[in-house]
Amino acid sequence: MVFNWRRLVFGKPFPTQHAHHTRLPNSLALPIFASDALSSVSYATEEILLVLATVAVSHQVLQVSWPIALAIALLLGIVATSYRQTIHAYPQGGGAYRVSRENLGLGAGLVAAASLLIDYVLTVAVSISAGVAAITSAAPYLQRYTVWLAVAFILFIAVANLRGAKESGLLFAIPTYLFIATITTMIVVGIVRMALGHQLTPPQPPEGSWARGAETLTFFLVLRAFSSGCTALTGIEAVTDGVPAFRPPEAKNAARVLAILGVILISMFVGITYLAHQLHVIPFPADMEGPHAHRQTVVSQIAYAVFGGGWFYFVIQGATAMILILAANTAYVDFPRLSMFLAEDRLLPRQFANVGDRLVFSNGIIGVTILSILTVVAFGASAHHLIPLYALGVFLSFTLSQSGMVVRWLRLRPHGWQLNAGINALGAAATFVVLIIIAVTKFMAGDPIQFFPLTTSLGLWLVGTAMGFVLISMYHRWMGKWFLGLAIAGFLAAWPLLHFQPLAMVEVHLGAWLVMVAIPTVVWMCFRVNAHYKAVADHLTMDRYVGVPDFKHTVLLVVSGLHRGIMPAVKYARSMGDDVRAVYVEIDPPKTATLLDRWHHWVPDVPLVVLESPYRSLVEPLLAYIDDVEKERDDDIITVVIPEFVTEKWWTKLLHGQNGLLLQWALRYRRGVVVTNIRYYLDSPGQQAAFQHPLTSHLE
Amino acid sequence: MVFNWRRLVFGKPFPTQHAHHTRLPNSLALPIFASDALSSVSYATEEILLVLATVAVSHQVLQVSWPIALAIALLLGIVATSYRQTIHAYPQGGGAYRVSRENLGLGAGLVAAASLLIDYVLTVAVSISAGVAAITSAAPYLQRYTVWLAVAFILFIAVANLRGAKESGLLFAIPTYLFIATITTMIVVGIVRMALGHQLTPPQPPEGSWARGAETLTFFLVLRAFSSGCTALTGIEAVTDGVPAFRPPEAKNAARVLAILGVILISMFVGITYLAHQLHVIPFPADMEGPHAHRQTVVSQIAYAVFGGGWFYFVIQGATAMILILAANTAYVDFPRLSMFLAEDRLLPRQFANVGDRLVFSNGIIGVTILSILTVVAFGASAHHLIPLYALGVFLSFTLSQSGMVVRWLRLRPHGWQLNAGINALGAAATFVVLIIIAVTKFMAGDPIQFFPLTTSLGLWLVGTAMGFVLISMYHRWMGKWFLGLAIAGFLAAWPLLHFQPLAMVEVHLGAWLVMVAIPTVVWMCFRVNAHYKAVADHLTMDRYVGVPDFKHTVLLVVSGLHRGIMPAVKYARSMGDDVRAVYVEIDPPKTATLLDRWHHWVPDVPLVVLESPYRSLVEPLLAYIDDVEKERDDDIITVVIPEFVTEKWWTKLLHGQNGLLLQWALRYRRGVVVTNIRYYLDSPGQQAAFQHPLTSHLE
């Protein structure tokens, strides 16, 4: 059953020998590595406008978006140029983890790796959420299913990736090119129509959506808008990771693709922001509620204005949704690969390095799926609420990676290293400045969540514990008064805490601080994992091994009576050593005498030990007896042989006690005891004959 | 943890030697055996009136309740007298199962047993539901928690019984006497006040609750009212089961208690019906709904009329609730005991004969708890809706038990047997007639439930299957067209079924037919269980046993590499036989050569078998190899030794694959293979030293 189901969903397993690197032509490499970076232009402009709109919705204020966009475009150019150097320096693939670790040390490498892992999860969550928003802009009746749609898309991408990356490459090329083509068309048509003097009116949010003059335009707010827009840079580093996937000359092809990607990215982002600016687009508030609240994205507003809601509008919305949902695919390629690197370096559980049925790193894929679904559900699939958490990790890894390159140039000093180091130093400096801006402006920019303050939590905990003591005092009469005393003390201690500060809540805003906490946590976990693997390796090394001492077998055969089913187990036990004892736990004392008689008649050479069990427990007397046997000799190993019935039909299992399983469970953590199950099949006579096995009682 | 929790709720375990029969004085035996029988008077009258009220609410029609009550009182007298004979004939306890089985055969015995088991479950459900109704009559704001209250009370009784019967006896005596006293007081005060000419006005249901003249008073309806009232007889047989619990002379004391019980029962039932009749009580409809629908029971109406809602009214309601809830206790004593009898006769799973920690039949108690909670939840804790199912089983067991007695008299023919046989024959005849009346009048008297008709079900199944085929056709391209064809055929076949008869529902009324189906089902299950136990016993008998043939050990040691952790397992495996082979599944081929070198160096005397695994599966190549090994020789037993890591902390488990467990699971149903786990502890060095076990690699 399970196997058939797996085949159906994931396809037939691939043999190991089929593993080979599919070299990608540039035309396929571009969409595969670019979808993440390109997709972010669909929401970057909107995020800038959403910050500015809180100030006051006047077109003058929104004009500020234009210089901000130009600054981001400049940053994009610097980062792309800087990364081209990394490609040439690391033709075997120069992810931030590798570059940082090699040049700055394990700690820096792990910080970069942790930032990237967190960021891949956020990439999935943000892209999927924005993609669903593009769909619900065009089809508002789907708005109530937002979270469900997001989860469904994540699962779809997960299945596609578990089936293998080869197929995904082809599957994801078309939407990327469609997105580039449609957005470019929109920008060109928009500019042409404006030049021709057409009146283009974008849909605007309902009156009163934005409180006028609520805040003033401060420099801080401009920086915040800038850092929101910096999400446009996310995903640009993907090409550097994947250099070996290009056709030779790999580095040259990869650098060319990165250059093309940079140009497309800058043009599209600047184009969209220019149109928004010229068309006086006012964004819809992120949290529109109410029965008729039909929220539109900024791209949707522009497309509507340019094409007037015709069929091309729906094509743009569809292409946007597709590239956003498929942009998550980049994270689905990167997260498992980075986890694999970390697992091979014994910094993450080794299971992440296992190759699955279809030659993909299934555990990494499953990991990113679970984490991103949790994120999407927690944030209600709202891209806007995820953005404050998003870009920090990217820029931290940018900074580390570029700094690593600078250190590398200073170390190797090849011909013309000064220029190269200068470019990377500029990249590092620029991304570091942005990192600081993001950290400061987005620190608590997100949704508020509510906690009990510490005092209230302590009070509630005291009340709960005191109620537990009351319960205990009701049952344990002789020491009840002590527990009652403790309970009263607990209630008294809780009183001031809960009385003087009633159930108030403390409000904490989500934001970049969450990522700042998460990154060191992940780094710490990786160090712990590494320490464990090192300890195990040290423990298991053969270096100082001199041998296992000799031992004798003591075999305990647990019996519940004497019948044909246990005779093979008796024979098996006897074959293992000389000290074999049958052990019988006496639940019903009157039956013991008969059993002893029969035992001596049928099995005269194995002694039967009868264990009293005053409380009718099977396990406890047996454990006590094992203790006694262990004290008898030092050089023996106790093997507990448990004969087990196997019945033919499922329901007949219920007619026999599951004592074998119970015993196995109880002995599971019992040191120095080896457990052996001897199964005995209760077949119908026909089947019994068909299966001739030595461990079967022979009949006359 | 688990043990402490058990101790807290269920108390300390009792040793077996404490098992002794607590002999009950008559004053304690009466409440213990009577609560079930007595409690039914609190709803029997109401059930009669509810049937009559559907005809037309005129006091003339409700007068019919009076002759019906007298007929039931007569029946009660006959049955009680008849059962007194059973007590004398079976001083060791004469339950319907034993009497029927002994005199009428196993089939009749099983029918009686099945009826009783079903009836015990219904007793719990009906009593608890009626008890909760008594509470909500007095405290209407609790009405919305009806089902929760009922479940909570069932769990309370279950815990009390799991703690042991001795305590329950004392706990349940007080409410019974309180109930007898208060109801008697109510009847006496009521009659006296009416004689004094006081004006007593019971609360009546709101106007329009009953449609006037909806049905006419037919003979069938009178019979239905009569059979509803017959619930007053339920529980009267309890004394005959428990004769050995009385003080000597047991039979005499038991007969005396039964006589007293009969008298009390008849007086209370007749008294309540008389008052209802004199006070012109109109019952509240069973299904009152709406925000202010405060339903009262008939006893509540009478008590209110007699005492005018003073404190004594609340005492009566409280006592009624208590006795009803505790009446369920009778079933909690009887169900486990009858299950134990059946289990000892190998007609039910043997676990029902196990004595628990506190010397009670825990599994029977758990069984009746689960079944009665399911019933209460399914019927919304409405006693009225359960009544149609209720009395049938009781009267079937009455009839069988009395008929068994008649057969016994005819067989043994002691002095004066004619009179005795006559009494029992009268009892059997009377209860048989009532049985038929109940079966006919209550056959479909209950709530309607809705089903899809067969055609619709078939159509829906076809659609579901066809959709499955569509899914399959999407993935398996080369045979997709076949699956698509099947899918289309499925849709076409479903079309007429669903088109010409859209999703209509068929309505079926619950009622006594459910019990008529359930009884033979239970009987059939008991026969199946019995057949299985007989087959096993036949299989396991030593009668024709001649011995187990000699065999050789083939030991397969599964290794994932060479390290100190597996060396004890190597030694253990080698100690078991000469044919020991280490088996290595090659997941990562490049590593194999090194492993082979190291293996030959460290373990030169055990060959290492390398199994290819093109699909990187661990289990499948191993199973295939076991197949091969089995074909090599006929006289060997394969023991698979699996070395297993045990790590110190829970989280470190996650850092190692669970291949050992996986393998054990895969081999679980593999015939003729013995699985042995050798655990290796990955301790910190300090702990390692503290635990000196032979199965540990020694170090220099």
* Predicted confidence (pLDDT) at residue B488 exceeds the cutoff of 80: yes
Please judge whether A655 and B350 are an interchain contact, meaning their C-beta atoms are less than 8 angstroms apart: yes
User: For residue A6, what pLDDT is reported?
Assistant: 55
Residue of B nearest to A540 (CA): B564
Distances (CA, A) of A647 to A471, A559, A651, B350, B542: 44, 18, 9, 15, 19
Please judge whether A16 and B693 are an interchain contact, meaning their C-beta atoms are less than 8 angstroms apart: no
Residue of A nearest to B347 (CA): A655
**Cβ contacts (< 8 Å) between A340 and chain B: which residues?**
none
Under 8 Å between Cβ of A77 and A328: no
Out of A532, A636, A700, the one facing B544 most closely (by C-beta) is A700
**Cβ contacts (< 8 Å) between B6 and chain A: which residues?**
none
Give the separation between CA A280 and CA A302, rounded to whole angstroms: 10
Low-confidence ranges of chain A (pLDDT < 70): 1-22, 56-61, 164-172, 211-215, 287-293, 357-359, 447, 449-451, 471-481, 501-504, 648, 650, 653, 657, 683-700
Residue of B nearest to A657 (CA): B351
Under 8 Å between Cβ of B90 and B251: no
User: Would strands A636-647 and A552-559 be described as parallel, antiparallel, or unpaired?
Assistant: parallel
Check: pTM over 0.80? Answer yes or no: no
For testing contact with chain A, the best of B467, B555, B697 (most A CBs within 10 A):
B697
Please judge whether A540 and B349 are an interchain contact, meaning their C-beta atoms are less than 8 angstroms apart: no
Please judge whether B698 and A532 are an interchain contact, meaning their C-beta atoms are less than 8 angstroms apart: no
Under 8 Å between Cβ of B55 and B264: no
**Cβ contacts (< 8 Å) between B614 and chain A: which residues?**
15-17
From the CA atom positions of chain A, what is the Rg in Å?
34
The closest alpha carbon to B652, from B682, B686, B690, B618, belongs to: B682
Question: Which DSSP symbol is given to A331?
Answer: H
Distances (CA, A) of B490 to B465, B476, B482: 7, 19, 12
Please judge whether B576 and A571 are an interchain contact, meaning their C-beta atoms are less than 8 angstroms apart: no
The pair of structure tokens assigned to A133 is: 């928003």
Give the separation between CA A251 and CA A244, rounded to whole angstroms: 8
Question: Which DSSP symbol is given to B353?
Answer: G
Query: Where do the H-state alpha helices sit in B501-566?
Result: 512-540
Please judge whether B699 and A539 are an interchain contact, meaning their C-beta atoms are less than 8 angstroms apart: no
B336 CA: distance to closest CA in chain A (Å): 17
User: For residue A689, what pLDDT is reported?
Assistant: 42
Under 8 Å between Cβ of B681 and A531: no
**Cβ contacts (< 8 Å) between A471 and chain B: which residues?**
8
Residue of A nearest to B643 (CA): A674
B136 CA: distance to closest CA in chain A (Å): 27
Give the separation between CA A534 and CA A552, rounded to whole angstroms: 34
Distances (CA, A) of A700 to A116, A601, A695: 72, 18, 16
User: Angle of helix A41-53 relative to helix A106-138, nearest 10 degrees?
Assistant: 80
User: For residue A292, what pLDDT is reported?
Assistant: 54
Highest mean pLDDT, choosing among A70-79, B327-336, B683-692: A70-79
Give the separation between CA B649 and CA B612, rounded to whole angstroms: 34
- pLDDT band, very low/low/confident/very high, at B695 (cuts 50, 70, 90): low
Give the separation between CA A327 and CA B656, rounded to whole angstroms: 33
Residue with tokens 């002694």: A607
**Cβ contacts (< 8 Å) between A13 and chain B: which residues?**
615-617
The closest alpha carbon to B428, from B407, B459, B396, B403, belongs to: B403
User: For residue A14, what pLDDT is reported?
Assistant: 67
More confident residue, B296 or A290: B296
For testing contact with chain B, the best of A532, A552, A692 (most B CBs within 10 A):
A532
Please judge whether A700 and B529 are an interchain contact, meaning their C-beta atoms are less than 8 angstroms apart: no
> Percent of chain B beyond pLDDT 70?
86
**Cβ contacts (< 8 Å) between B563 and chain A: which residues?**
540-542
- pLDDT band, very low/low/confident/very high, at B691 (cuts 50, 70, 90): very low
Q: Given phi > 0 = left and psi -120 to 50 = alpha, else beta, which region is B348?
A: beta
Distances (CA, A) of B417 to A203, B406, B430: 102, 9, 20
User: For residue A692, what pLDDT is reported?
Assistant: 47
Give the separation between CA B277 and CA B64, rounded to whole angstroms: 9
Report the helix count and the strand count for chain B, using DSSP H and E.
26, 9
Residues whose CB is less than 8 angstroms from the CB of residue A590 and which lie 6 or more positions away in sequence, other chains included: none
**Cβ contacts (< 8 Å) between A14 and chain B: which residues?**
615
Distances (CA, A) of A288 to A134, A344, A382, B156: 15, 47, 11, 50
Question: Which DSSP symbol is given to A54?
Answer: T
Q: What is the pLDDT of residues B405-462, one digit of tens each?
A: 999 999 988 888 889 899 999 999 999 999 999 888 888 777 676 667 777 888 888 8
Half-sphere exposure of A370 (CA within 13 A, CB side): 6
User: Would strands A545-547 and A506-509 be described as parallel, antiparallel, or unpaired?
Assistant: unpaired
For testing contact with chain B, the best of A677, A682, A691, A696 (most B CBs within 10 A):
A677
DSSP result, A580-629: EEEEEEESSGGGHHHHHHHHHHH-TTS-EEEEE-TT--SHHHHHHHHHHH
Under 8 Å between Cβ of B253 and B26: yes
User: For residue A544, what pLDDT is reported?
Assistant: 76
The pair of structure tokens assigned to B18 is: 């404490």
CB pairs under 8 A between A and B: 209
Cross-strand pairs, A673: A638
Neighbours of A538 (CB within 10 A): 10
Residue with tokens 């299904």: B287
The closest alpha carbon to A150, from A140, A139, A136, A138, belongs to: A136
More confident residue, B37 or B498: B37
B421 CA: distance to closest CA in chain A (Å): 40
**Cβ contacts (< 8 Å) between B691 and chain A: which residues?**
671-672
Give the separation between CA B482 and CA A217, rounded to whole angstroms: 67
User: For residue B630, what pLDDT is reported?
Assistant: 85
List the single range of A319-328, B549-558, B685-694 with lowest mean pLDDT.
B685-694
For testing contact with chain A, the best of B354, B533, B557, B655 (most A CBs within 10 A):
B655
The letter for the amino acid at A565 is G
- pLDDT band, very low/low/confident/very high, at B181 (cuts 50, 70, 90): very high
Torsion of CA B173, B176, B182, B188, to 10 degrees: -120
Would you call the peptide bond into B249 cis, given omega within 30 degrees of 0 as the criterion? Answer: yes
Under 8 Å between Cβ of B257 and B58: no
Return the beta strands (E) in B43-189 as ranges. Answer: none
The letter for the amino acid at A160 is A
Under 8 Å between Cβ of B338 and B240: no
The closest alpha carbon to B402, from B666, B85, B42, B185, belongs to: B85
List the single range of A270-274, B59-63, B105-109 with lowest mean pLDDT.
B59-63
Please judge whether B548 and A563 are an interchain contact, meaning their C-beta atoms are less than 8 angstroms apart: no
User: For residue A497, what pLDDT is reported?
Assistant: 80
For chain B, the residue count is 700
More confident residue, B660 or A432: A432
The letter for the amino acid at B665 is W
The closest alpha carbon to A93, from A340, A346, A396, A367, belongs to: A340
Q: What is the pLDDT of residues B517-540, one digit of tens each?
A: 999 999 999 999 998 888 888 878
Residue of A nearest to B696 (CA): A548
Out of B546, B617, B699, the one facing A544 most closely (by C-beta) is B699
Q: What is the pLDDT of residues B626-640, one digit of tens each?
A: 989 988 887 788 899
Please judge whether B693 and A672 are an interchain contact, meaning their C-beta atoms are less than 8 angstroms apart: yes
The letter for the amino acid at A295 is R
Out of A11, A540, A598, the one facing B564 most closely (by C-beta) is A540
Q: What is the pLDDT of residues B434-445, one digit of tens each?
A: 999 988 888 877
The pair of structure tokens assigned to A223 is: 């920086």
Under 8 Å between Cβ of B543 and A521: no
**Cβ contacts (< 8 Å) between A355 and chain B: which residues?**
616
For testing contact with chain B, the best of A540, A632, A700 (most B CBs within 10 A):
A540
Under 8 Å between Cβ of A339 and A95: no
User: For residue B690, what pLDDT is reported?
Assistant: 40
Residues whose CB is less than 8 angstroms from the CB of residue B423 and which lie 6 or more positions away in sequence, other chains included: B81, B82, B85
User: For residue A314, what pLDDT is reported?
Assistant: 87
Under 8 Å between Cβ of A52 and A61: yes
